[in-house]
Structure 1
Amino acid sequence: MPKSLVNYRVRHAFLVSYLLIVCTAAVLGASQLQTDPGSITVRFIIFGVIALILMVVGAIMGAVSKKRSASDIGEWNYRKSLLSIREYEKVLGRHEEDFKVFYDDTSSAGGCCCTISAAYLLYLALGIIPEGGIDASFWFTPAATLFIIIGYALLGLTSYGIGQHSVTFGVGDFFVAPDYRGLKHAKMLEDEEALYVKSLVKIGTQDDLQALFETEWRVYLDGQPDTVYIQLKVDKAHIYDYPYLVGIIVNGPDVVERTENLDIDTRFPGIVEYMSDEGVSVLVSRFDIPSDSAELEHEPNITAQEFRKLAKALARRLIKLSTE
């Protein structure tokens, strides 16, 4: 994680402050317990009210500490590079090491909230229900104080962590997650004869930092100029990936808009859609998968063999069209 973009002093200050709050609450709870260990009301305040307040405060402080610890992203210098898959993976590895924290997925926070809520209810039940829980005589022993401290620490620090995971650093979409789905499908074409998979990337640098900002996957054809290539794209359709290919011929011939069915022996029929766009010949090649997933017997994961067949069929048509 780049220290120049994350202010760890702020995060540590918030954490230390919260630990002091937890320790203070534990001391107060233990002192309150000694006043009347046998009172369910006293134990409800200790294990219910105070514990809940600690959890709420912890979640708030955790979220605020993360927001406040993001430094100014500053000015970046950009360049574009054409990389092989191996070169891209090296750049990606460095990017993940430094910047993954900035695009953390916050969707898991909901599940964590359910877990911590269940733990809180269990802690409360053990504290106020002697029958089936902890015997009433336990509250007159020193171990009861330890029970309070451990419970407060676990519930409080877990809530603090949930608070941090429930928010992002607040830098918007500046640092975005890399295109993992594109990389997965690019590897499917990596060893295909006469096809050369490259990634056109936008790389940003700042001092000793290097970040990956944009990625466009391209497939170049053997014997063809760089103005003839295939773009590899992956959309998300329902719950599965939907890869497709866009053939490009810059300054290519005008083509009549039409759709051609491909005879490539795959589970789903392959098609090519022809069109022109301001002097660029465009051929979109994809699998004709039903839009309603309920019509499918199985999740339509496109195999590497099927994807290669689609790419080779498109490549042949691009080469033929570019020579016209």
Structure 2
Amino acid sequence: MDEGKIIDYSRQGKVNRIYVISLLLFIIIGILLHNYYVNELRSFLVNITLPMLLFLVSLGIGFGSKKAIDYIPGEWERRKVWVSFSEYEEMMESYEDAYGDLYAHPGDYCSCFFMMIIVGAIGAFLIIFQSFTILLINPFIDSILIITIFYTILSVSGFVIGFRIPKIDAEEFFKPPLKGDTYNFARELEGVAGIRAGMNVELGVRAGAQTIFDAEVKSYIQGLPESVQVKVQVSHSGFAYPYLVGTIYKGFPVQETQEIHRIRTKYPALLEYSMDEQVTVIVARFEIPKRSNTVPHVSTNDFRKLAAFLATKLKDNYDAANTS
């Protein structure tokens, strides 16, 4: 994927140069303070105060470096394709290889807190180490090596974390890939008897670059029109609890009721019938005991059996609606 004509890195280069200059300044100041500043707080300043400040400065510059990457707006040639889950994952792998460094990772805010603790701990260790006056080469060269290595490592860490946190200003272009329990369970529908499952992907092509504008899991009943669909939903109440929602537009009318079936799974299958205006809705889930000594778990094999069972019920309803 060639992103040269849609991403402008020119402003980022200026920010990165500021980062290099700031790192060199901190290293020089640290070396000078360590060797020429006579004060009882010297070790604390060099090993804890300056490193903390350097980490925060690097964090901010890394954040600014990401925001300095510019997306160049333009017209995209859009098209929709139907792909299997494995094909979609290959597309996402290529997409992440090309643009993964431009995603936002807001979870890295937590890393800032832990890094501050690590910086303080390493600084305290260096203070103790220096109190023993252990020489590696000579005092001056030792200070240059230790300060340069310590400051560089923590500065790069701060810069990388800061860079990962934000996203560039290109809402349309960079969409995070589908992940999580819902996608993982939906993927299990592929190959289930009676179900045609895959991904409906909207691609964009421009100047030799390709992006994914949208991706949606779609599941239909084989041999039936797309007005008959199956959707995967997952609730979380201490564990991942998947269930299926089957819909039939202008299906055979049903009464609001429930049925329990034994389908050779760990838990019995529960079907819930209802109407939503002209749409017949059948929700398939497992009847899991409310009280249990162990955490309930729905295996992928049982989930696939439930999906196949729902597919037969949806087909029966569709056939009833079109033969009556």
Partner Cα distance (2:143, 2:101) in 1: 39
**Is 1:68 aligned to 2:68, yes or no?**
yes
Task: Sort the Cα spacing of 1:80 and 1:273 in 2 relative to 1 into closer, same or farther, 3 A.
Answer: farther
Task: Sort the Cα spacing of 1:228 and 1:33 in 2 relative to 1 into closer, same or farther, 3 A.
Answer: closer
Matching residue of 1:314: 310
> How far apart are residue 119 of structure 1 and its match?
2.9
Partner Cα distance (1:63, 1:150) in 2: 23
TM-score, L = length of structure 1: 0.82
**Matched position secondary structure for 1:167:** coil
Q: Is the 8 A contact 2:71 2:168 kept in 1?
A: no
Q: Which amino acid aligns with 1:127?
A: I
- What is the 5 A alignment of 1:240-255? 240-255=239-254
Deviates more, 1:273-282 or 1:56-65: 273-282
> How far apart are residue 112 of structure 1 and its match?
5.1
Matching residue of 1:81: 81
Partner Cα distance (2:210, 2:22) in 1: 37
Partner Cα distance (1:168, 1:36) in 2: 42
**Is 1:53 aligned to 2:53, yes or no?**
yes
| 1:100-149 superposed Cα distances (whole Å, 9 cap, x missing partner) | 34444332441353144323332244237744x55499884322122122
Tell me how large the CA RMSD over aligned residues is. Answer: 3.1
* Matched residue count: 317
> How far apart are residue 53 of structure 1 and its match?
2.0
Partner Cα distance (1:173, 1:211) in 2: 9
> How far apart are residue 212 of structure 1 and its match?
4.5
Partner Cα distance (2:205, 2:174) in 1: 13
Q: Which amino acid aligns with 1:307?
A: F
Partner Cα distance (1:137, 1:187) in 2: 58
TM-score, L = length of structure 2: 0.82
Q: Please, which runs of 5 or more residues in structure 2 have no aligned partner? A: none
Q: Is the 8 A contact 1:113 1:162 kept in 2?
A: no
Task: Sort the Cα spacing of 1:124 and 1:115 in 2 relative to 1 into closer, same or farther, 3 A.
Answer: same
Matching residue of 1:28: 29
Partner Cα distance (1:84, 1:129) in 2: 58
| 1:161-204 superposed Cα distances (whole Å, 9 cap, x missing partner) | 22122333354586333333445334433333343323233333
Q: Which amino acid aligns with 1:89?
A: E
Q: Is the 8 A contact 2:249 2:280 kept in 1?
A: yes
Task: Sort the Cα spacing of 1:199 and 1:33 in 2 relative to 1 into closer, same or farther, 3 A.
Answer: closer
> How far apart are residue 57 of structure 1 and its match?
0.9
Q: Is the 8 A contact 2:12 2:66 kept in 1?
A: yes
Q: Please, which runs of 5 or more residues in structure 1 have no aligned partner? A: none
